[in-house]
Amino acid sequence: MPSPLQLLVVDDHPAFRAGLRALLNDDPRFSVVGEAGTVAEAVARHAELHPDVTLMDLNLQQESGLAAIRQLVAQRADVRVVVLSTFDMSEDIHLAFEAGARAYLLKDSSREEIIAAILAVSAGERVVPPKIQQRLGERRSRPALSAKELEILQLIVQGRSNKEIGAQLNITEFTVKGHLKNIFLKLQVADRTEAAIKAVWEGIVHLRPETFQS
């Protein structure tokens, strides 16, 4: 019988890690050799253990699992990462694959789906379930926002006025309004409220409590 695939589980919730470990270790084809709850731990454990497949959450104690994926890929180009996320936001999915993930599954996936994805990724395949493929298609159909438009959208979500945005970015209110028109057109929304809702819903902007005005 071949040696079991060595797995690293990265998630900031110990209970979820324990459940996933129990699920996978119950199958003789797998062995969970390590766990991590932060980006730094994930990178260190991966360098130490050289797992065959890493299962990665994208939200790690106010950190992004995307940063972990990028660092793992920088360590080893052929790294094999399966994202297991609570969210199916189109921007997260796009960025995960762009960073180097080989599969994207939701945490409510069945045991069989998770196992099949691990086996496929370990064999060098890419796994994109139908629902995730649909969300990727939605993302690809939307024109890309520029770096400046993303900055402004982040500030809109934080509740900043045009005047405040202009002062923070050192541009005029007139320029801010021009960028807003482009943002509304690209997101296919009518106003800043709709833009903020869509930005959060699609994962273009992530809500961080500490970023809001008091």
Query: Which pairing describes strands 53-56 and 63-64: parallel, antiparallel, or unpaired?
Result: unpaired
Answer yes or no: do 41 and 93 share one domain.
yes
Q: Over 70: is that where the pLDDT of 202 sits?
A: yes
Answer yes or no: do 82 and 131 share one domain.
yes
Choose between 196 and 2: higher pLDDT.
Answer: 196
Q: Over 90: is that where the pLDDT of 49 sits?
A: yes
- The proportion of the chain whose per-residue pLDDT surpasses 90, expressed as a percent, equals 71
Tell me which of 139, 164, 189 is where a domain ends. 139
Q: Over 60: is that where the pLDDT of 143 sits?
A: yes
**In total, how many domains does the chain have?**
2
Choose between 140 and 105: higher pLDDT.
Answer: 105
- Rounded Cα gap, residues 7 and 181, in angstroms: 47
- Mean pLDDT score, 195-212: 74
Answer yes or no: do 185 and 113 share one domain.
no
- Mean pLDDT score, 113-142: 91
Q: Over 50: is that where the pLDDT of 211 sits?
A: no
3-state secondary structure of 174: helix
- Mean pLDDT score, 136-155: 87
Residue 81 to residues 61, 107, 125: CA-CA distances in angstroms? 19, 15, 11
Answer yes or no: do 112 and 31 share one domain.
yes
How confident is the model at residue 170, as a pLDDT?
A: 93
As a whole number, the mean pLDDT across the chain is 90
DSSP secondary structure code for residue 211 in this structure: G
Q: Over 70: is that where the pLDDT of 48 sits?
A: yes
Answer yes or no: do 81 and 153 share one domain.
no
CATH number of the domain residue 128 falls in: 3.40.50.2300
- Mean pLDDT score, 36-51: 95
- Mean pLDDT score, 68-89: 92
How confident is the model at residue 17, as a pLDDT?
A: 95
**Which residue is it, tokens 């199958």?**
27
Tell me which of 107, 139, 171 is where a domain ends. 139
How confident is the model at residue 209, as a pLDDT?
A: 47
Q: What is the pLDDT of residues 181-192, one digit of tens each?
A: 999 998 889 999
Instruction: Domain of residue 96: give its range.
Output: 5-139
- pLDDT band at 1, cuts 50/70/90? low
- Mean pLDDT score, 62-80: 91
Helical pair 39-49 and 65-75, crossing angle rounded to 10 deg: 30
